[in-house]
Amino acid sequence: MGLQSFLPHETGGEGAVPRQGGTSLPERGAEPRPEASLETDHTCLDVQSSDQLVQKYFRNQPATGTFSRWELPPSSMAGYKGPGLRREAHLCCDPTHPSLSSSQPVEAKTKAQGMSHQSDVLPCDQLRDQVIGNQSSHTQLMETLLHLRQTVDDCITQLTTRPPQLDLPLEEQRHNQATGEQEAFLRRVVNLLQSGAMWGLGLQAPRPTLGPRDDAGGGQQAQLSRQLDQLVHQLSHLEVAFVSHDLSNRGIDISAFERSKFQDFKTYQGDKYHEDKNTMGFINLGVSENKLCTDLMTERLSRSDMNHLEDALLQYSDQRGQPFLREEVARFLTYYCKSPARLDPENVVVLSGCCSVFSALATVLCDPGEALLTPTPFFGGLVMGSYLYSKVELMPVHLDSEITDGSARPFQLTVDKLEQALLEATLKGKKVRGLLLINPQNPLGDVYSRDSLEEYLEFAKRYNLHVIIDELYMLSVFDDSVTFRSVLSMESLPDPNRTHMIWGTSKDFGISGFRFGALYTHNKEVASAVSSFGFLNGISGITQYKLCRLLQDREWIDKVYLPTNHSRLKAAHRYITNKLKALKIPFLNRGSGLYVWMNLKEYLQPCTFEEELLLHHRFLGNKLILSPGKTYMCKEPGWFRLIFSDKPLPLKLAMHRFYEVLAEQKRDLRVKQLEDPQKE
- CA dist 145 → 74, 205, 238, 541, 644 (Å): 16, 21, 15, 42, 34
* CA proximity to 418, closest of 450, 372, 459, 377: 459
State the pLDDT at residue 87. Answer: 37
pLDDT tens-place string over residues 573-623: 999 999 999 999 999 999 999 999 999 999 999 999 999 999 999 999 999
- Alpha carbons 584 and 572: distance in angstroms, whole number: 18
Buried b (16+ CB within 10 A) or exposed e, 43-82: eebebbbbbebbbbbbebbbbbbbbbbbebebbebeebbb
pLDDT tens-place string over residues 346-374: 999 999 999 999 999 999 999 999 999 99
Residue 64 lies in a domain: yes
Residue 179 lies in a domain: yes
- Alpha carbons 444 and 435: distance in angstroms, whole number: 18
- Alpha carbons 632 and 518: distance in angstroms, whole number: 23
Angle at 268 between CA 263 and CA 273, to 5 degrees: 170
Question: φ and ψ at 487, to 5 degrees?
Answer: -65, -25
What pTM does this model have?
Answer: 0.69
Residues 108 and 250 in one domain: yes
Q: Place 679 in a pLDDT band, splitting at 50, 70 and 90.
A: low
* CA proximity to 238, closest of 106, 95, 86: 106
Q: Is a pLDDT exceeding 90 seen at residue 430?
A: yes
Residue 306 lies in a domain: no
| In contact, 595 and 438? CB cutoff 8 Å | no
Q: Which domain range does residue 502 map to?
A: 317-553
pLDDT tens-place string over residues 529-587: 999 999 999 999 999 999 999 999 999 999 999 999 999 999 999 999 999 999 999 99
Q: Is a pLDDT exceeding 90 seen at residue 334?
A: yes
Residue 164 lies in a domain: yes
Q: Place 255 in a pLDDT band, splitting at 50, 70 and 90.
A: confident
Strand partners, 592: 477
Residues 484 and 400 in one domain: yes
Residues 227 and 289 in one domain: no
Q: Is a pLDDT exceeding 80 seen at residue 106?
A: no
End-to-end CA separation in angstroms for the chain:
23
Name the CA radius of gyration of the chain, rounded.
Answer: 27
Choose the final residue of a domain: 553, 586, 618.
553
**What CATH number should be reported for the domain holding residue 593?**
3.90.1150.10
3 state SS for 64-93: ECCEEEEECCCCCCCCCCCCCCCCCCEEEE
Question: What is the Cβ-side half-sphere exposure of residue 451, based on CA atoms within 13 angstroms?
Answer: 1
Query: Which residue would you say has higher pLDDT here, 224 or 644?
Result: 644
- Alpha carbons 160 and 157: distance in angstroms, whole number: 5
Choose the final residue of a domain: 553, 579, 596.
553
Q: Is a pLDDT exceeding 50 seen at residue 201?
A: no
Q: Place 172 in a pLDDT band, splitting at 50, 70 and 90.
A: low
Write down the H helix ranges in 389-446.
Answer: 415-427
Residues 361 and 395 in one domain: yes
Query: Which residue would you say has higher pLDDT here, 447 or 132?
Result: 447
- Alpha carbons 430 and 366: distance in angstroms, whole number: 12
Residue 311 lies in a domain: no
Residue 144 lies in a domain: yes
Residues 236 and 380 in one domain: no
Sequence-distant (6+) residues with CB within 8 A of 634 are 376, 377
DSSP structure string for 627-647: EEGGGGT-SSTTEEEEE--S-
20-34, 44-58, 106-120, 557-571: which has the highest mean pLDDT? Answer: 557-571
Residues 382 and 252 in one domain: no
Residues 372 and 241 in one domain: no
- Three-class secondary structure of residue 164 per DSSP: coil
Q: Place 677 in a pLDDT band, splitting at 50, 70 and 90.
A: confident
Residue 80 lies in a domain: yes
State the pLDDT at residue 137. Answer: 62
DSSP state, 487? G
Total domain count, the chain: 3
Choose the final residue of a domain: 553, 568, 602.
553
Buried b (16+ CB within 10 A) or exposed e, 574-608: eebbebbeeeebbbbebbbbbbbbbbbbbbbeeee
3 state SS for 509-526: CCCHHHCCEEEEECCHHH
DSSP structure string for 549-592: HHHH-HHHIIIIIHHHHHHHHHHHHHHHHHHHHHTT--B---SB
Residues 182 and 282 in one domain: no
Residues 400 and 450 in one domain: yes
Residues 206 and 97 in one domain: yes
- Alpha carbons 6 and 192: distance in angstroms, whole number: 10
The mean pLDDT value of the chain amounts to 77
DSSP state, 505? S
Residues 216 and 282 in one domain: no
| In contact, 562 and 409? CB cutoff 8 Å | no
Question: φ and ψ at 394, to 5 degrees?
Answer: -100, 110
- Alpha carbons 498 and 521: distance in angstroms, whole number: 8
In whole angstroms, what separates CA 667 from the centre of its chain?
30
